[in-house]
Structure 1
Amino acid sequence: MTTGTHVDNEALFAVLSSLADNKQAIGRRYAYWCNGAPALEAAVAAAAMTQDELGHARTLYPLLEDFVQAQAVPEQIKPTTRTLHYHLCALDQDFTGWCDFVATNFLVDTALTTFFEAAQNSTYEPLGTRARKIIQEEQLHFVHAEGWVRRLNGPGGGVRRALQTSLARFWEEALCWFGPPDDATIQALLRNGIINASPDELRARYLSKIMPILNELELEVPIPLGPQGQPSQSLPWTRWNRTTRRLEPT
């Protein structure tokens, strides 16, 4: 480890845990749709993306071994013995339909990719190396996500409403994952050169990817955005768990 203080080690452990657990959860949710997708080509893509997401998780979990001494919780290093749950609350439940698959790919996985893009030149080289590899694979995931958002937006009103519901299910938590502006974890990583952006900068980069598509398709979002591209009303920070980086259920 080259990150310096115990506090910074805790910050990196928390974010790596969140990244790994979210990738693991996404992969497990995707796996069901290898047989349940609405079309053969969608099932093939779901199988490939499942492998990618679980593979990303497998490359991230070993990094937690760098923090055994700092954390004093060796049982939290391997996914088979972890009792912590650092993935988004919205991923606790099975997908209710294909629209949830699409919304997860479009909103949640894109949020994680935005973080990896900010870590490509990380001073913690093991993260930087993995980030660059993950970003390459995620390019096809985003193409898939955008294509299906457009496709589901086109048919009758029932399908479009289902897509809108799924986007709403993941919207707030995906935005909150970057943390509030003063998020101590992300700010510590920024100070140490592990990433190159603050929470608000990460959120802005994320929104610059997804909002042009949502605006073009006239898909509404639960929390509107102001002229600067940031949420125009407060996100639900009262439910935000800074440790697990997820919104607690209402």
Structure 2
Amino acid sequence: MTDVKELDRTTADGLANLLVVVGDNKHWMAKWLAQWSVGAPGLESAVAAAAIAQGHFGQARALFPFVQQFLFDHEIVGPEERTRRYRVSALDEPFGSWAQAVVTLLLVDTGLNVVLRSLHETQDELARRIGRVLDESRFYRDFAAGRLADLTTNWEHGRAQVEPHVTPILVEMLCWFGPPGEAGVEHLVANDVLTLDNDAMRQAFLDDVAPTLLELDYRLPVGGGPGEWTWEELPWDRWNALQRRLEVSNP
């Protein structure tokens, strides 16, 4: 296990950036999901939305202290106090429907957790915290997949409410892992901080979410199968590498 003090400046900065990006997205997921604790259809879903939102707030808070530790001489402030906010465009605004909340939870949170699972252990406490985050997130993923199946099969207009969100969020998350050969990710892989490169993380993400969506007969811009997925050309012209997000196209 590598001690954080042994990391070179570039590697420490890269790890800090990775953790703050994941933490920020967890925070904004929590903020918007919390609003559905009083609007989700049914008491069970409302209670679960509140619990998952609090869990995501806690996950973000668990990661931020390590961002500060890896930055050494820079101070990190909360995601709502910074002018630069690291969040995917799917989390720019409150969820306009329960269907949007469910799709976003399934796809965005799964992508975030692919990165956390790809991290080598750099120190005991960080490994423990990431382990707790991933343990909690298995429940969140199962909840989202269950609600998606319920919306699709049991709601008269459920599929129509879900469909507009699936491909845009899926495509953004495929981009979120970065373009092939991205220098920052390649450096972290070469220095044993990440176990997977950009395309390998995309494969792991699709291994998790694509079968669930395909079983429900949603059309996806992907082909192939587990471990050998292919995808349509991604919109790298809209990719903001600094904030790790797709910029929204002007209408």
TM-score between both structures, scaled by the size of structure 2 = 0.90
2:23 aligns with one of 7, 17, 20: 20
Q: Deviations over 1:18-58 (max 9, x none)?
A: 10100000000111000010110000100110111000011
Q: Does 1:243 align with 2:242?
A: yes
1:131 aligned partner: 130
Aligned-residue offset at 1:3: 5.5
Give the C-alpha shift of residue 130 in structure 1.
1.9
Amino acid at match of 2:223: L
CA distance 1:239–1:52, shift in 2 (3 Å) = same
State how far apart, in whole Å, the 1-side matches of 2:122 and 2:72 are.
Answer: 20
- Look up the match of 1:200: 199
Q: Deviations over 1:50-94 (max 9, x none)?
A: 111000011111112124446x4x2x4433532211111110111
8 Å Cα contact 1:21-1:85 kept in structure 2: yes
For residues 143 and 106 of structure 1, the distance between their equivalents in structure 2, rounded to whole angstroms, comes to 8
Partner of 1:116: 116
Tell me, in whole angstroms, the C-alpha distance in 2 between the residues paired with 1:216 and 1:105: 18
Q: Per-residue displacement from partner, 1:213-248 (whole Å, max 9, x unpaired)?
A: 111111112x23346643432211111122211111
Asked if structure 2 preserves the Cα contact closer than 8 Å seen for 1:61 and 1:79, the reply is: no
Matched residue count: 245
In structure 2, the residue corresponding to 1:32 is in which secondary structure? helix
Match of 1:57 among 56, 60, 66: 60
CA RMSD, Structure 1 to Structure 2 (Å): 1.9
Code of the residue aligned with 2:21 in structure 1: it is S
Identity %: 32
1:199–1:165 Cα change, 3 Å: same
1:81 partner letter: E
Report the CA distance shift for 1:233/1:209 in structure 2 as closer, same or farther (over 3 A). same
Is the 1:108–1:174 Cα contact (8 Å) retained in structure 2? Answer: yes
| 1:36 alignment partner, SS class | coil
Partner of 1:158: 157
Q: For structure 1, which runs of at least 5 residues remain unmatched after alignment?
A: none
Which residue of 1 is the match for residue 79 of structure 2? 79
